[in-house]
């Protein structure tokens, strides 16, 4: 990475507003986000956001792609990788105090214990609950799934419970949980953390202990479905079916054969299905 681009990138990220935009886009990476959604999530004025996006694009940290009538901004992972590589390997002289915490290989021996997976949504009333129940059923003991929401005081949605019961899944132990329950020292160490709604992905949260792999598997919120009860039930069933396909693909991955980068690419691909 050229020295000029490196200094431009660091200068660009030195502004709190641009850093906030960059961090939000990283939580959706490699997927893109519409400017209106960025502005809403960060409570930022459109003209201010437009300026920050332009600066980030000039620094080659993000790129824009038009899909139909919408413009989506996404992180340029190749440039970010080069920037981090420069900071850690070149400027940081590849010191183990810096590199070891960053590049520890992921544990791939699943014989010792099940892997812990956390699904996060805004309300923990439907989508993340679906994912928890599905993975615990399909995983057959290889995975231990949990779910949580970023909003306090939510309750399980009756339509979601009905879909799960109709699919023959146990609902007796399911409950809505706040994400803070999994941020304590006593909480299980997560190996994977997936966001299943855009609102949860857009929210700022502290890094997870143990550096779990993450991906965004956003799906429409069936709770917002309108119409008759039958039409609402169909919206929940559609989301349930989509999550089932994704979890089937996830559990079928050859974890022992995949390097960490290849595994991340597979997780991102599942999220785009």
For range 104-133, the mean pLDDT: 84
pTM to 2 decimal places: 0.86
CATH number at residue 128: 3.40.50.2300
pLDDT for the residue numbered 180: 94
Number of H helices, E strands in the chain: 11, 6
Chain centroid to CA 256: 22
Indicate if the pLDDT at residue 72 is higher than 70. Answer: yes
Domain limit, last residue, from 81, 103, 125: 103
The answer on 58 and 17 residing in a single domain is yes
Q: Is the pLDDT of residue 106 over 70?
A: no
Indicate whether 142 and 213 sit together in one domain: yes
Using alpha carbons, list the distances in angstroms from residue 169 to 134, 160, 209, 222, 236.
Answer: 8, 11, 31, 19, 15
Instruction: Provide the pLDDT confidence category of residue 197 given band limits of 50, 70 and 90.
Output: very high
Q: Which residues pair with 214 in a beta bridge?
A: 193
d(CA 17, CA 51): 10
Q: Are residues 128 and 244 in the same domain?
A: yes
Q: What local confidence, expressed as pLDDT, does residue 92 receive?
A: 87
Is residue 47 domain-shared with residue 129, that is, in the same domain?
Answer: no
127 and 253 co-located in one domain: yes
Confidence band, pLDDT 50/70/90 cuts, at residue 256:
confident
Residues 203, 232 within the same domain: yes
Residue 10 shares a structural domain with residue 46:
yes
User: Containing domain of residue 38, as a range?
Assistant: 3-103
Q: How confident is the model at residue 205 (pLDDT cuts 50, 70, 90)?
A: confident
Q: For position 103, what pLDDT does the model report?
A: 66
* Pair 43, 154 in one domain: no
- The answer on pLDDT for 206 being more than 60 is yes
> Percent of the chain at pLDDT above 70?
96
pLDDT in tens, 216-230: 999 999 999 999 999
CA distance 2 to 85: 12
Q: Is 31 helix (H, G, I), strand (E, B) or coil?
A: coil
Q: Is residue 108 part of a domain?
A: no
Domain assignment of residue 81, yes or no? yes
In tens, the pLDDT along 10-50 reads: 999 999 999 999 999 999 999 999 999 999 999 999 999 99
Length of the chain: 273
Closest among 51, 48, 55, 75 to 12, alpha carbons compared: 55
Instruction: Tell whether 21 and 129 lie within a shared domain.
Output: no
∠168-174-179 over CA atoms, to 5°? 140
Task: Please give the pLDDT value at position 93.
Answer: 87
- Is the domain of 207 the same as that of 74? no
- Residue 109 domain flag: no
Q: How many CA atoms lie within 13 A of 165 on its CB side?
A: 11
- Answer whether residue 118 shows pLDDT above 80: yes
Q: Domain containing 85 — which CATH number?
A: 1.10.10.10
Q: What is the pLDDT of residue 1?
A: 72
Beta strands in 160-239 (DSSP E): 192-195, 213-216
- Please give the average per-residue pLDDT across 71-87, as a whole number: 95
Q: Which residues, in sequence order, are bridge partners of residue 35?
A: none
Alpha helices in 43-176 (DSSP H): 46-58, 77-85, 96-103, 127-138, 158-166
Report the chain's terminal Cα–Cα distance, integer Å: 33
| 177 and 75 both lie in a single domain | no
């Amino acid at each position: 990475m050229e020295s000029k681009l490196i200094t431009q990138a660091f200068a660009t990220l030195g502004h709190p507003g641009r850093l906030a935009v960059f961090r939000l886009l990283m939580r959706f990476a490699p997927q893109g986000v519409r400017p209106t959604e960025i502005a809403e999530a960060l409570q930022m004025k459109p003209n201010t956001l437009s300026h920050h996006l332009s600066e980030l694009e000039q620094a080659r940290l993000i790129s824009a792609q038009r899909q139909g009538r919408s413009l989506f901004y996404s992180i340029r992972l190749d440039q970010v990788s080069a920037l981090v590589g420069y900071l850690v390997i070149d400027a940081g002289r590849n010191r183990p105090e810096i590199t070891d915490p960053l590049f520890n290989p992921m544990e791939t021996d699943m014989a010792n214990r099940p892997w812990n997976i956390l699904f996060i949504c805004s309300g923990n009333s439907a989508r993340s609950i679906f994912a928890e129940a599905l993975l615990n059923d399909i995983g057959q003991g290889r995975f231990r799934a949990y779910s949580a929401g970023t909003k306090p005081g939510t309750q399980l949605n009756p339509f979601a419970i009905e879909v799960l019961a109709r699919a023959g899944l146990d609902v007796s132990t399911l409950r809505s949980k706040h994400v803070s329950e999994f941020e304590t020292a006593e909480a299980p160490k997560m190996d994977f953390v997936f966001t299943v709604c855009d609102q949860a992905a857009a929210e700022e949260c502290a890094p997870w202990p143990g550096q779990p792999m993450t991906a965004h598997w956003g799906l429409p919120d069936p709770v917002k479905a309108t119409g008759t009860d039958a039409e609402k039930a169909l919206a929940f069933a559609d989301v349930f079916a989509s999550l089932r396909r994704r979890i089937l693909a996830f559990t079928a991955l050859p974890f022992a054969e995949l390097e960490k980068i290849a595994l991340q690419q597979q997780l991102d691909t599942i999220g785009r299905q």
